[in-house]
Amino acid sequence: MLCLELAWRFIIARKRPMLLSLSGIVFGVAFFVLTQAQTSGFEQFFIRTILGTNGAIRISDQFQDNVGTVEKVDQDGKVEFLFHSREDSLYREGVDQPALIYEALKDYPEIMGVSEIIEGNGVLNTGSRKSSIEIKGIRWVDHAQASDLISQIIDGSIDEFAADQMAVLLGSRISQRLNLKVGDRVRLIGGTGNLHLRVSGIFETGVSQIDKNRIYLHMGTARSFLGRFSGGSVFQVALKNPNRAPAIAQQLQNVLNHRAVSWQEREKVWLDVFKALRVSSGITVSCILLLSGLGIFNVFAILVIEKTRDIAILRSIGFSPQDVSAIFLWQGAILLSAGVFVGSLFGYAGTFLISVIPLRIRGIFSTDNFVVNWDLDHYLMAATIALFFVSFATWIPARRASKVEPAKIIRETL
C-alpha cells in the first residue's frame, strides 16, 4: 500500500511525461477496439448474411461408394499398400431421393429448417438488356424457414411470389442492371427454352456476389425450365446453432451417405480473408501500443535514474529491493489501468459513432453504415496487449531500481 501511495505521488509529480505515456495507451487501446469492431463487424455481417441466404449446411451429391479399394502387395518380403480412390466416380451429382432426405432431416432436433433447391443457369432478357444469372428453384414455405429470404425482400412481397407460378424474385443488383421493377415482365432463356416471368419481388442480401447473380423461381417452374423433372436437387439446412455446423455436417454425411458441407468449409476462403484482415489490423494497431510501451520505457528509465538518490534513501530507511521495484511496477500498473479504462471508453464511443455515421458502401458488401461488432473480447485483447508491452516497459526499469546499491549512491552524492 505504501509503495502504491509512493507510486501515485511520483506519477502526479510528473504530469506531462505521464500524460503522454497514458495517451499512448489510451489511443492504442481505443484504436484496437475500433478497428476490431469494424473488421469483425463486417465478418459477422458476412456470416449472418451467408447463413441467412445459403444456410448453415448444404447437402448435395450422393456418394457412390464410401471407400476406394486397398490392395496389398508383397514384394521381396516388403509389404506395400496401394490405394485406389476412384475419384472420378466418387459422387453422383445431386440428391437422388429428395423426399427421403427431406423426411430424415426434418427429424433432427438441431435443424431449424430444410429447403430443397434445384440449381441451374440461364439468361434474363428484357428485350434491351441481357444478364446471365443463377437460378434457384425453391418451395418458398420451406425456403423461408431455412433462410432470411422474407426479410431480404426490399420490394414486392413473398405473397406476390407465392400467388404466381411464373413469378421470379430478383437480386437487387440484377434489377438495377436490367432496370426491372416489381410487376415488370422478363424472359428467361437457356435450358429447355423460354419462360415468361413476372417480377414479384426484389431481394437484397448485402453480399454483392449474390445480389448480382441470383434469382428465385418456384421449384416446379425451375424443374421444367432446366429439364430436370426428378432428383438432382440440393438441400439447404438452417441450424439452431450454426457454430455446430461442422460436427452436424459430418454426422449428416455419415448417416445420409450424401456430401454435407458446413458453411465454415464452404466459405473458408472468405472467412480466411476476414481473419487475415482482423489479424493484420490488430497487429498494425498493436504497434501503437508497442510505441507507447517504448515511450513508457523511456520515461521510466529516466525516472529511475532521476530517483536513484531517493531509492538509496528509501533503502536506508528499510525499504527492500522488492519494495523499490514495486514502486515502479505500481506506476506502470496505474498507467496501464487508467489507459485501458479510458481507452476502452474512447473505443466504445468511437465504435458507436462509426456505427451511426451514414455511409453508403457498394463493394463486396452493400450497407448504409459501418457494420460494427460489439465484443468484450476486443477490449480484453487490447488490455492484454497493453499489459504485455507496459509490463516489459516497467519491468526492466523496476529491476534496475531494485539493483541500486544504497551505500555507493549515497557516497557518490557527497
Ligand X SMILES: Nc1ncnc2c1ncn2[C@@H]1O[C@H](COP(=O)(O)OP(=O)(O)O)[C@@H](O)[C@H]1O
Show contacts with another protein in window 317-336 (CB under 8 A). Answer: 317-321, 323
Residue 403 interacts with ligand X (CB under 6 A)?
no
- As given in the structure block, the three cell numbers for residue 376 are 468484450
CB of 317 to ligand X, least distance (A): 20
Q: Would you call 119 helix, strand, or coil by DSSP? A: strand
**Assign residue 153 a region: left if phi > 0, alpha if psi is -120 to 50, beta otherwise?**
beta
| Least distance to ligand X, CB of residue 408, Å | 5
Min dist. Cβ of residue 406 to another protein (A)? 5
∠ Cα 233 114 42 (to 5°): 100
Closest CA to 329 of 395, 278, 271, 263: 395
Q: Residues touching another protein: how many (CB under 8 A)?
A: 25
To ligand X, the closest distance from the beta carbon of 315 in angstroms equals 16
* Residue 408 makes contact with ligand X by CB under 6 A: yes
SS3 content of the chain, % helix, strand, coil (to 5): 60, 25, 20
Minimum CB distance to another protein smaller for 39 or for 402: 402
Are 138 and 114 within 8 A, CB to CB? no
Grid coordinates belonging to 85: 480412390
Q: Where does this chain touch another protein (CB under 8 A) — which range of 277-285, 310-318, 380-388, 389-397?
A: 310-318
User: Binding of another protein at residue 414 (CB under 8 A)?
Assistant: yes
56 binds another protein (CB under 8 A): no
Residue type, 24: G
Residue 410 binds to another protein (criterion: CB under 8 A): yes
- Measure the CA–CA gap between 317 and 403, rounded to whole angstroms: 16
Report yes or no: 110 and 241 within 8 Å, Cβ to Cβ. Answer: yes
Torsions phi, psi of 5, nearest 5? -65, -45
Q: Is 411 in the site for ligand X (CB under 6 A)?
A: yes
Nearest of 367, 318, 328 to residue 9 by alpha carbon: 328
Stretch in the footprint of another protein (CB under 8 A) among 200-208, 240-248, 338-346, 403-411: 403-411
| Residue 406 touching another protein (CB under 8 A) | yes
Q: Which does 176 bind (CB under 5 to 8 A by kind): another protein, ligand X, none?
A: none
What does the binding site for ligand X look like in residue numbers (CB under 6 A)?
A: 408, 411
What does the binding site for another protein look like in residue numbers (CB under 8 A)?
A: 2, 6, 9-10, 13, 309-310, 312-321, 323, 405-407, 410-411, 413-414
